[in-house]
Amino acid sequence: MSKNCYIIQTNCVTPLGFDVNSNFEAMLNGDSGIQCHKNSPLLGSSFYAATIDSTQLDVAFSKVECNAEFSRLEKMLILSLQPIISKQKVTPKSVFILSTTKGNITALENKEYPIEGTYLSVLAKKIALYFGFTTEPIVVSNACVSGVLAVAVANRMIQAGVYEEAFLVAGDEVSEFVLSGFNSFQAMSENPCKPYDKDRNGVTLGEATAAVYISSDESKIGKGSIKILGDGSVNDANHISGPSRTGEGLYRSISSALKEAYINPHQIDYLSAHGTATLYNDEMEAIAFSRLGLQNVPINSYKGFFGHTLGASGLLETVFAIECANRNQLIASKGYNENGVSQNINIIHKNAKKEITYFLKTASGFGGCNTAVVFEKIK
Partner 1 sequence: MNTENYISKYCQIENNTVFVNGEKLFELKDVGFSEFIKNAYKEFEIEYPKFFKMDNLSKLAFVTSEIILKDVCEKDQENDIAIVFANQSSSLDTDVKYQNSIQDKENYFPSPAVFVYTLPNICVGEISIKHQLKSENAFFVFENFNTKFITNYANQLIKSRKAESVLCGWVEFYQEKYKSFVYLVSKDGLLFHNEKNINTLYNK
List the one residue out of 193, 235, 220 whose CA is nearest residue 48. 193
- The interface region with partner 1, picked from 68-76, 191-199, 245-253, 301-309 by CB under 8 A, is 245-253
List the one residue out of 195, 241, 246 whose CA is nearest residue 368. 241
Q: Does 40 bind partner 1 (CB under 8 A)?
A: no
- The interface region with partner 1, picked from 64-72, 131-139, 271-279, 352-360 by CB under 8 A, is 131-139
The Cα–Cα gap between 129 and 122 comes to: 10
The Cα–Cα gap between 168 and 331 comes to: 24
Q: Does 129 bind partner 1 (CB under 8 A)?
A: no
CB of 182 to partner 1, least distance (A): 8
- The interface region with partner 1, picked from 20-28, 31-39, 48-56, 367-375 by CB under 8 A, is 367-375
Among 86, 89, 240, 379, binds partner 1 (CB under 8 A): 240
Please answer whether residues 91 and 117 qualify as being in contact, where contact means their C-beta atoms are separated by less than 8 angstroms: no
- The interface region with partner 1, picked from 19-27, 234-242, 344-352, 355-363 by CB under 8 A, is 234-242
The Cα–Cα gap between 155 and 11 comes to: 19
Q: Does 239 bind partner 1 (CB under 8 A)?
A: yes
Size of the site for partner 1 (CB under 8 A): 57
DSSP assignment string, 144-185: GGHHHHHHHHHHHHHHTTS-SEEEEEEEE---HHHHHHHHHT
Q: Between residues 233 and 276, which has the closer beta carbon with respect to partner 1?
A: 233
The Cα–Cα gap between 20 and 27 comes to: 11
Q: Does 335 bind partner 1 (CB under 8 A)?
A: no
Among 223, 237, 350, 353, binds partner 1 (CB under 8 A): 237
Using CA atoms, how far residue 336 sits from 85, 317, 333, 345, 347, in Å, is: 37, 17, 6, 12, 8
Q: Between residues 72 and 125, which has the closer beta carbon with respect to partner 1?
A: 125
Please answer whether residues 87 and 68 qualify as being in contact, where contact means their C-beta atoms are separated by less than 8 angstroms: no
Q: Does 139 bind partner 1 (CB under 8 A)?
A: yes
Among 172, 197, 207, 236, binds partner 1 (CB under 8 A): 236
Among 33, 192, 243, 249, binds partner 1 (CB under 8 A): 249
Q: Between residues 118 and 346, which has the closer beta carbon with respect to partner 1?
A: 118
List the one residue out of 34, 33, 51 whose CA is nearest residue 42. 51
Among 37, 181, 220, 349, binds partner 1 (CB under 8 A): 181
Number of other residues whose CB lies within 10 A of the CB of residue 238: 15
CB of 146 to partner 1, least distance (A): 9
Among 26, 35, 177, 327, binds partner 1 (CB under 8 A): 177
The burial class, CB within 10 Å (0-12 / 13-18 / 19+), for 192 is: buried
Interface ranges with partner 1 (CB under 8 A): 2, 44, 101-103, 105, 108-109, 115, 118-122, 124-125, 136, 138-143, 149, 153, 156-157, 159-160, 162, 176-177, 180-181, 183-185, 232-241, 248-249, 252, 256, 260, 365-369
